[in-house]
Amino acid sequence: MKKIKILIVDDEKDFAEALAERLELRGLEAEVRTDGEAALAFISETPPDVVILDIKMPGIDGFEVLRRIKASHPQLPVILLTGHSSIKDGIRGMELGANDYLLKPINIQELITKVEAAVAAS
Amino acid sequence: MSSVSYDEIKFMGTLTASMTHEIRNVLAIIQESCGLMADLFEMMNKTKQEPKKERLAKSLSRIQAQVTRGIKLVSDLNKLAHLPDELHRKTDLEELLTLMSDLSLRLARLKEIELCLEPFPSKPIKVKTSPFYISMAFYYTLDACLNILCPGSNIILGVWHGKNSGGWEIKPHDSKQEQKNIISEIYSTPQWTIAKRAMKIAQGRARLNDLSIVFEVPFL
């Protein structure tokens, strides 16, 4: 069975790398990028199956990265990560085309369920 | 006692939100690092192979670093919460500027602007002021600067000492804009009006030079 390829975009490198390792131990492939520009460059070269995207980042923020992904790869599923306690950012992201959102700190099993659902729906 | 307006609430709310967002990031890293260690031990139990020591050591080192980061964030957040304890009190201007710089780092980082603290004078400068309102004046001035400056700029923060007064100096630097234009833009912002009001309550004043923003509090 083909491994699901995930791109994690988060300026908190330690978080992204630890999460990537945990996903790989569960049989998924994970790449890390720590800013929006690098993430968009990666997607244009080797589109993953799903993107896990933090909203608050220096430079172009997660919402802008999401807009650009949806313009260039409309079918690519995106799951947002938010540190905001209210669901406002998550809803705004869904309106911009995100498949789902999660509040940090995350539950890895919940994340994997959402990743699999997003890939199955794409 | 001055009346509290929306400006005061927004100042405290924005900084608290920013700090708690950082604390969430710290907890998220600790959670993933602990989770990774648990995964490695579970794998060891299943496969009867030793987990690679360097992977465990890396996770442990991440946790230690984040605990240190978390303690600093909580300590700064606590100091912020205690600013309004007394309206006016003897205040160490260096200590307070360091706190405000640390509390504002994330807001500046999100705009890709660097905050730089100038070396402090050898002798601490203490004045009787309102730590809450001078900090509020700083926050609104910084907010105006962050909205005007381009990514890649920096803001130099310093403490100054005169004959009869002392205070803070804020110097925004942007290679893409003329200094006098930055200062004149700050002058026309609503944030500057709020900063001037806050400095009056802090028993001082806020003024603009050609190259910098100055907060001044007289010595008693």
Mean pLDDT estimate for chain A: 94
Residue of A nearest to B38 (CA): A22
Q: Does B52 touch chain A (CB under 8 A)?
A: no
User: Which residue among B62, B65, B110 sits closest to A58, beta carbon to beta carbon?
Assistant: B110
Cβ atoms of A57 and A79 closer than 8 Å: no
> What tokens were used for B17?
């939100």
Condensed to tens digits (0 to 9), the pLDDT of residues B110-155 reads 999 999 999 988 888 999 999 999 999 999 999 999 999 999 999 9
What whole-number distance in Å separates Cα of residue B33 and Cα of residue B22?
Answer: 17
Flag the least confident range among A9-23, A92-106, B37-51, B152-166. B37-51
Spatial CA neighbour of A10 closest among A44, A61, A45: A61
Using the CB atoms, write b or e for A17-29: b if 16+ within 10 Å.
Answer: bbbbbbbeeeebe
pTM for this predicted structure: 0.92
pLDDT band at A5 (very low <50, low <70, confident <90, very high): very high
Cβ contact A12–B25 (<8 Å): yes
DSSP letter string, A72-95: H-TTS-EEEEE--SSSHHHHHHHH
Of all residues in chain A, the one with the smallest CA distance to B59 is A18
The ipTM estimated for the assembled molecules is 0.92
Q: Tell me if chain B has a CB within 8 Å of the CB of A14.
A: yes
Helix (H) or strand (E) run with residue A40 in it: helix A36-45
Residue numbers in A near B41 (CB within 8 A): none
pLDDT per position as a tens digit, A26-79: 999 999 999 999 999 999 999 999 999 999 999 999 999 999 999 999 999 999
Mean pLDDT across A87-98: 90
Compute the count of residue pairs across chains A and B with CB atoms less than 8 Å apart. 60
* B118 at interface of A, judged by CB pairs closer than 8 A: no
The angle formed by the CA atoms of residues B183, B16 and B94, to the nearest 5 degrees, is 55
Count Cβ atoms below 10 Å from residue B173 Cβ, excluding itself: 18
B154-204 pLDDT, tens digit per residue, is 999 999 999 999 999 999 999 999 988 999 999 999 999 999 999 999 999
- Comparing C-alpha atoms, which of A57, A52, A60, A67 is closest to residue A106? A52
How far apart are the C-alpha atoms of B26 and B70, rounded to whole Å?
Answer: 6
- The helix (run of H) or strand (run of E) holding residue A38 is helix A36-45
Dist CA B87 CA B203 (whole Å): 10
What is d(CA B109, CA A19) in angstroms, rounded to the nearest whole number?
23
* Chain B 120-139, residues with CB within 8 Å of chain A CB atoms: none
Distance from CA of B92 to the nearest CA of A (A): 32
**H or E segment to which residue A66 belongs:** helix A62-72
pLDDT computed for residue B3 by the predictor: 63
Q: What is the pLDDT of residues B28-80, one digit of tens each?
A: 999 999 999 999 999 888 888 877 789 899 999 999 999 999 999 999 999 99
Cβ-defined contact of B21 to A56 (cutoff 8 Å) = yes
Do residue B24 and residue A83 have CB atoms under 8 angstroms apart?
Answer: yes
Picking from B20, B25, B151, the nearest residue to A15 by CB comes out as B25
Q: Which stretches of chain B are DSSP H helices?
A: 6-47, 53-82, 93-110, 131-148, 179-187, 190-201
Q: Above 90 in pLDDT, residue B88?
A: yes
